[in-house]
Chains A and B, each alone.
Chain A
Amino acid sequence: METVISIEHLEKSFGDHKVLLDVNLSVGKGEVISVIGSSGSGKSTMLRCINLLEEPTGGVIRYKGEDILSLNTSKYRTHVGMVFQQFNLFENMSALENCVRPQIKVLKRKRAEAEVVAREYIDKVGMSAFINARPSQLSGGQKQRIAIARALSMNPEVILFDEPTSALDPEMVGEVLDVIKSLAKTGLTMIVVTHEMAFAREVSDRVIFMDGGIVLEEGTPTELFGNPKKPRTREFLSRFLNG
């Protein structure tokens, strides 16, 4: 399997505060990876480093073998999209325009072409009826689905999800997870930070447990949920399963 992203000895500190100590991870093409771990373990920080929203303070991240710091950041980000907990839709644009404008400005697509692409993905996330709505007029689940369509419209190789359902009311979690599940089947490479254990178990090829700034344990969902090796993993999972 072709390796799309490889993380080698990644470190990240904020001042004296070391958040990522030594993260190692390799992501193959088409793989769906769930990242779990307690609050503050550095999941978001790792994801943000992959997208270069944070600059690593040590180690290397490679995209298809090349150090991402040596790539054009803008161009690299078109290959590695991101979906945020807080959606971050452009408040000054309609749902459709959110998906169209980045294609025009970054990929230099013609508007007509960009609209075709955008409509296709908006349809895929089941939001066709709302293309003219402003973000402020959408529910959380609807916003997140448009945010996913926006990321897809750039035709990325990889999408990073940072707790895509954590800011949603419980009744909207399902609609967003369904969209992500359907993407998993299309061969898109995905890294999903999540607290939804059932989802992680169902869709991921591999589950990563992060703790204290490192990847403490990784394995298939069956291995990691069924037979966790490390005491910390067991403790974390039992806390989750027992509510």
Chain B
Amino acid sequence: MFFVQVWEIVVKYHSYLLKGMGTTLLIALIGTIVGLVIGLLTGIVRTTPFSKNKLLCGLHKTLNSIISVYIEVFRGTPMMVQSMVIYWGYAFLNGGSTLPLIPAGIFIVSINTGAYMAEIVRGGIISIDKGQFEGAYSVGMTHFQAMMQVVIPQVMRNILPSVSNEFVINIKDTSVLNVIGVAELYYMAGAIKAINFQTFQTYTVVCVLYFIMTFTVTRILRLIEKKLNGKANYTICGSQSDSHAEIHVHEQEES
């Protein structure tokens, strides 16, 4: 009986469910990417040494304070509440006209994720050996060049697992956007239940779908991480006796 009903939901409402999944993935993906960009920008700003120029230093300190407040507020309040405040705050300030839903959802997830990414990126930058900066300075790179050429590429590799984790969290947490009516997967479940009154069956389907998404995404990201960890071998070119000889050196694969 139960399985038949579940199957009927899948068959009957598959277009709603797929659309909901698409919206969920879209918002989670863009939100994670934009959040990472916010994290990188704030991380670079906060780890840049203060300028000797009084005015620039003052501006920098102000900016740092604003970033700290942003991080504290967005990490210290639920995204569901943030959604309501931002969505209806915009309407309040604009004479009742509301934001289009999907862009609003992307904005909310991005800015929320950004607050977490800010800490992840900053930790990533701080944990890079100071010698990497000094090596870059010693050949004449500016702080910004050292950051972009040497440090950030290493940070990106190191924080990839945390970024993947944020993406998976976002897939699940976009469900709170149903409070402002974004038609993501959880919202679709509510809509289907309102038609068939089969609450348990409907949410079971949605539960499985969420799991399929997070499981698949986790595996894909893990593969990418492995790829990015680089080849564990390199080629020694041209031995002295035979210039065509190539010696392949394999490193012990890190576990």
Contacts and interface: CB of A to CB of B under 8 A. Distances in A.
B135 A106 contact: no
A82 interface: yes
Contact of B149 (A90, A128, A130): A90
Contacts of A92: 150, 153-154, 157
Closest 3 CB pairs of A and B: A88-B135, A102-B139, A88-B131
Given A81-B138, A128-B238, A130-B236, A88 B145 contact: no
A89 B120 CA distance: 24
A131 B236 CA distance: 8
B249 interface: yes
A75 B235 CA distance: 35
8 contacts: A76-B140, A77-B140, A82-B138, A88-B129, A92-B150, A101-B149, A107-B140, A133-B236
A53 B234 contact: no
A134 interface: yes
Contacts of B138: 51, 53, 77, 81-82, 84, 88, 151
Interface in B14-67: none
Interface residues on B, range: 20 to 34
A143 to B, nearest CB: 11
A130 to B, nearest CB: 7
Interface string A48-69: 0001010000000000000000
B235 A132 contact: yes
A133 B137 CA distance: 23
A84 B140 contact: no
Contacts of A136: 251
Given A53-B134, A92-B153, A137-B249, A151 B234 contact: no
Nearest to B249: A137
B126 to A, nearest CB: 16
Given A130-B236, A133-B234, A137-B234, A89 B135 contact: yes
B238 A81 contact: no
B98 interface: no
B236 A129 contact: yes
